[in-house]
């Protein structure tokens, strides 16, 4: 039964049998053709037996798949296939990889030919558009000899579950780009605003003028001298990425939502922040506060940010900026740099929330990052050919003008803003942060 399940007839044997049938029809007109059809049929049977003997005598190929445990969202991830021929003659292979159902590909095939005792490394690329777990199934390999009358299916059990995280590839790519920025080469202005955070430096003998609140009573009792703790101003600044995951951020662009663009950008941005010895934090909100990570630094903290971004789910509710303000007021007491990723569809939507944004900006340095519609701008450059086109182009230019008004309205209230297309989000946010560092604004 297993033999029959792995045996497949190819097109070549049906073509050969079709020739036999045609010769049998011709035999009604010319009798000698009948014997030719019989000889051809017997030859097909003999070659079929030889082909079955060659293919079903032992294993034909070894195969394996190499895929990373973590894939990058919206990037071309390479999948390697290793195949080797175990037979002393050449084989033709048709490889069907059971890729995850999220890609919706049902006709994915890789064809190759291997000479005797030859191994080959094949690869293809996939670009996942959703975060989460992806299940790779088995490798189905259909093997044919040069005779090509039948194919044998061999299954390689290599099922594997991989996780699609925010773009790690873009994170390292943006890191290399940012390392060429002048602030990395020349340093930044060290004149910062005084803060209330301190790092422990040393314990020393008390001298008049030292703050008595810092007396170390345990060390004093041990040395019989008054000892005080010395602190130095903390150089690391707190940088928070705030992501709005509400309905307005569900707009798709090139197969990816604005939320996912913000998530990818936040990971790359947080990596640059940590490289600059600052503290990176994360807040995700919609109708309430979702993920929250206190600003910290270190390689482990970047993994925490990555996992926090990975597990975020979409939300179709309206964003509550009141909840955001309450959370920022409660959780971030010191002055920090806040990058707010959101999207305002109209000037009215901004006017409803501008009082809260102004309150946040009084205690922190707020940068509002919102998106421009690249497809709408491309469409607005077209020429109108009829009355309907004139109407549609006018509406498109009205929306573009309203986006520019939102940008100017934020600047009018003293709030920094970035208006960018989704594909330029990485460079826009990182350059703004490095600009603030260079000017010593944080």
Summarize pLDDT for 148-200 with one digit per residue, the tens: 899 999 999 999 999 999 998 888 888 877 776 665 555 444 444 434 445 56
pLDDT of residue 327: 93
Instruction: Give the Å distances, CA to CA, from 236 to 193, 194, 328.
Output: 12, 12, 19
Checking if the pLDDT of 141 tops 60, the result is yes
Percent of the chain with pLDDT over 90: 53
The model carries a pTM of 0.79
Average pLDDT over residues 77-91: 93
Checking DSSP bridges between strand 110-114 and strand 139-144, what pairing results, if any? unpaired
How does pLDDT run across 272-305, given as a tens digit for each residue? 999 888 999 999 999 989 889 999 988 789 999 9
Tell me which CATH homologous superfamily contains domain 1-164.
Immunoglobulins (2.60.40.10)
Q: Where are the domains of the chain?
A: 1-164, 168-190+235-439, 206-233
CA triple 283-314-432, angle to 5 deg: 45
Which pLDDT belongs to residue 80? 94
* Cα Rg of the chain, angstroms: 33
Q: Measured between alpha carbons, how far is 17 from 35 in angstroms, rounded to an integer?
A: 15
As a residue count, the chain comes to 442
User: Do the domains at 1-164 and 168-190+235-439 have one common CATH topology?
Assistant: no
Q: What percent of the chain has pLDDT over 70?
A: 94
The pLDDT value given to residue 157: 93
Q: Is the pLDDT of residue 260 over 70?
A: yes
List, for residues 213-229, the tens digit of each pLDDT value: 888 888 888 888 888 88
Q: Which CATH superfamily is domain 168-190+235-439 in?
A: von Willebrand factor, type A domain (3.40.50.410)
pLDDT at residue 286 in the model: 92
Name the band, by pLDDT with cuts 50, 70 and 90, for residue 388.
confident
Q: What is the mean pLDDT of residues 84-106?
A: 91
- C-alpha distances in angstroms, 249 versus 11, 262, 440? 51, 9, 32
Cα gap 333→274, rounded to integer Å: 20
Give the integer Cα–Cα distance in Å for 130 and 165.
9
Residue 369: half-sphere exposure toward Cβ, Cα within 13 Å: 32
**What's the mean pLDDT when you consider all of the chain?**
87
């Amino acid at each position: 039964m297993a033999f029959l399940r792995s045996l497949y007839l190819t097109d070549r044997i049906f073509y050969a049998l079709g020739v036999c049938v045609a010769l049998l029809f011709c035999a009604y007109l010319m009798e000698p053709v009948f014997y030719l059809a019989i000889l051809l049929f017997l030859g097909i049977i003999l070659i079929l037996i030889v082909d079955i003997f060659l293919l079903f005598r032992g294993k034909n190929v070894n195969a394996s798949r190499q895929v990373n445990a973590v894939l990058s969202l919206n990037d071309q991830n390479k999948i390697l296939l290793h195949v080797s021929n175990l037979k002393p003659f050449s084989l033709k292979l048709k490889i069907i990889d059971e890729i995850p159902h999220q890609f919706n590909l049902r006709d994915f095939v890789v064809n190759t030919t291997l000479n005797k005792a030859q191994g080959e490394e094949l690869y293809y690329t996939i670009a996942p558009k959703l975060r989460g777990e992806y299940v790779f199934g088995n490798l189905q390999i259909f093997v044919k000899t040069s005779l090509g009358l039948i194919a044998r299916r061999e299954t390689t059990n290599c099922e594997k579950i991989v996780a699609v995280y925010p773009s790690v590839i873009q994170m390292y790519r943006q890191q290399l780009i940012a390392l060429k920025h002048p602030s990395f080469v020349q340093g930044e202005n060290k004149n910062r605003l005084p803060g209330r955070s301190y790092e422990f430096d040393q314990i020393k003998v008390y001298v008049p003028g030292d703050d008595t609140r810092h007396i170390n009573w345990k060390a004093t009792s041990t040395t019989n001298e008054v000892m005080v703790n010395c602190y130095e101003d903390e150089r690391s600044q707190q940088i928070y990425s705030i992501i709005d995951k509400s309905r307005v951020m569900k707009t798709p662009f090139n197969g990816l939502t604005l939320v996912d663009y913000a998530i990818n950008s936040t990971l790359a941005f947080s990596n640059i922040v940590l490289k600059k010895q600052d503290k990176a934090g994360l807040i995700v909100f919609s109708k309430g506060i979702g993920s929250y990570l206190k600003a910290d630094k270190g390689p482990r903290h970047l993994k925490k940010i990555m996992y926090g971004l990975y597990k975020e789910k979409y939300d179709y509710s309206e964003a509550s900026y009141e909840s955001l303000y309450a959370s920022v007021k409660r959780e971030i007491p010191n002055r920090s740099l806040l990058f707010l990723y959101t999207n305002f569809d109209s000037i009215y939507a901004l006017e409803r929330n501008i009082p809260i944004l102004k309150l946040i900006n009084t205690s922190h340095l707020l940068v509002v990052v919102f998106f421009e519609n690249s497809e709408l701008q491309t469409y607005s450059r077209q020429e109108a050919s009829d009355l309907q086109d004139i109407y549609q182009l006018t509406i498109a230019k009205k929306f573009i003008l309203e986006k520019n008004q939102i940008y100017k309205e934020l600047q009018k209230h003293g709030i920094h803003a970035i208006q960018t297309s989704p594909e330029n989000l990485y460079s826009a946010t990182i350059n703004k942060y490095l600009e603030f560092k260079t000017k010593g604004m944080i």
